[in-house]
Amino acid sequence: MVDKSDLIELFDTTLRDGTQAEGVNVSIHDKLNITKQLDAFGIDIIEGGWPGSNPKDKEYFQKIRLLDLKHARITAFGSTARFPDKVESDANLNALIEAETPVVSIFGKTWRFHSEKSLGLTDAQNEELIFKSVKFLKDHGRHVVFDAEHFFDGYKDDADFAIRMLKAAEQGGADVLVLCDTNGGTLPGEVARIVQDVKMNLNKPLGIHAHNDGDLGVANTLAAVEQGVRHVQGTINGIGERCGNANLATIIPNLYLKMGLRANEHVKLDKITSLSHFIYEVTNMTPNNHMPYVGKSAFAHKGGIHVSSVLKDSRMYEHVDPSTVGNKQTVVVSDLSGQSNIRYKAEKLGIELPEGRDFSSKFVQDIKTLEYEGLQFDGAEASFELLLRSELNHYQPYFEITYSKVNVMFNERGDDYSEAVLKVKVGDEEEHTAADGDGPVNALDNAMRKALTRFYPEIADMHLVDYKVRVLGEQNGTGAKVRVLVESSDNTDVWSTVGVSTNIIKASLQALSDAMNYRLYHYKNSK
């Protein structure tokens, strides 16, 4: 049985600190959905925002009362009062009470530089301000989390002052004292040493709130935990102001899988990858594929020797089982591939390869030649599958484009028009069609689907999800090759294809043709 005193309390500030990240803007609906997902995952305390700062956060705290949360407690965030003699009437503190959350987190100045320069307070006044603010919230029945803002910088500047401010919060009744590396510039060794000293001077539970300005948010958090801190703050995916906050999507697996620690019984570690992806989606941020544990590439293998070893025993190149965090192992096919890569991919695709080394050895060389010419299959697995099935004589294209022309027109008045003209041959029949679109690629896509739908109505529900262009050999200027990656969907599956040419329209046509052929192959072979 786990000793409850050794459990980690997980405090998520994605909805408060996380939304301060550049480019992040979430609606009330988004915040409520994120709250539900964090609760379902097993977060203990969710910091919803600052009710005294803006109407959106105020509305959030009104609507959150209607949610039936299974485990998490919501906290409102704010600062200590502005003046020691006006605590009872302080607008910020009263807004925290009016939010009616069971938990309140407030920050106070623990770096003399800030209390003097920012607030213009003496040491005694700042101490009184912290004590009275915390006590006010406790007198109103709140569980109080005290965030010691800039604590580590304050400690290094004047340890006595910083600890004195913590003691004021402790005496006021704070339930948790959180040591904040607000500027994110402290090193793990410093964190460990300072936490050790603080523990000898205080009796209340300690927390850690680290920022990532030195790329050490996770390391500093774990260093604090090693010294006995049991309240951990962070954001999912590490989003936050400047370089971000400590990343809970990395911290939590490390706590469980590396340090042998646990949070509450509600935590679903195998859902952390899907939670990470959900947060990226709702905040409209580009996922970091290389993020530990939850990234798309976290368990991806590309080098032939690595893949050969992984096929024998994945522990050779994977420090944990991907399934423990809800992720999966992948093998990338590229110019670094060996025969093991090809055989692994074929097995995953359900394709039986000929016995012996001759086929896979030849196919590896073909892949390397194509990649040398600019094609890239690690982001276009549908094109790779078609190529492999073609080599095995399992597949041949369902159509042939015999003629294509794209017209683009725009003028100084802002008029913009694109039209694609195609001749598409299916069997002995040829379809001649044209379509316009929002730009030449969209016009090309529309014309292809218009021409093919008569023969293959099953492609009608296909649509373009993403389109990327990469210039190869930039030194060649406008004459350089381009690689086009297209992501397509039929509302059920998503697949990616690739094309390469010195002509961006031709490269796009290759990628779009592969996308439609892939859809047709799987549709016809699923019956």
pLDDT in the model for residue 44? 98
Average pLDDT score over residue span 139-154: 97
Q: Which fold has domain 4-282?
A: TIM Barrel (3.20.20)
Distance from C-alpha of 191 to C-alpha of 195, rounded to nearest angstrom: 6
Residue 121's pLDDT band (cuts 50, 70, 90): confident
Every domain range in the chain assigned CATH 3.30.160:
399-455
- Nearest Cα neighbor of 221 from 197, 255, 269, 271 is 255
Please give the helix or strand (H or E) that residue 384 lies within, else none: helix 381-391
Comparing 2 with 372, the larger pLDDT belongs to: 372
Contact 220, 209 (CB under 8 A): no
Structure tokens at 296: 């798309």
Distances in whole angstroms, Cα of residue 440 to Cα of each of 99, 423, 509, 517: 52, 16, 11, 21
Share of the chain above pLDDT 70, in %: 85
Domain 399-455 in CATH 3.30.160? The answer is yes
pLDDT in the model for residue 146? 98
pLDDT in the model for residue 366? 61
Average pLDDT score over residue span 142-152: 98
Residue 496's pLDDT band (cuts 50, 70, 90): confident
What does the pLDDT look like over 148-179, one tens digit per residue?
999 999 999 999 999 999 999 999 999 999 99
How large is the C-alpha radius of gyration of the chain? 29
Mean pLDDT of the chain: 87
Every domain range in the chain assigned CATH 3.20.20.70:
4-282
Distance from C-alpha of 104 to C-alpha of 69, rounded to nearest angstrom: 17
Residue 8's pLDDT band (cuts 50, 70, 90): very high
Average pLDDT score over residue span 373-392: 74
What does the pLDDT look like over 286-342, one tens digit per residue?
889 899 999 987 877 665 455 455 555 566 666 899 899 998 766 655 444 455 566
What does the pLDDT look like over 424-480, one tens digit per residue?
999 999 999 999 988 888 899 999 999 999 999 988 888 888 888 878 765 555 567
Q: Of the segments 33-47, 346-360, 394-408, 511-525, which one has the largest average pLDDT value?
A: 33-47
pLDDT in the model for residue 387? 81
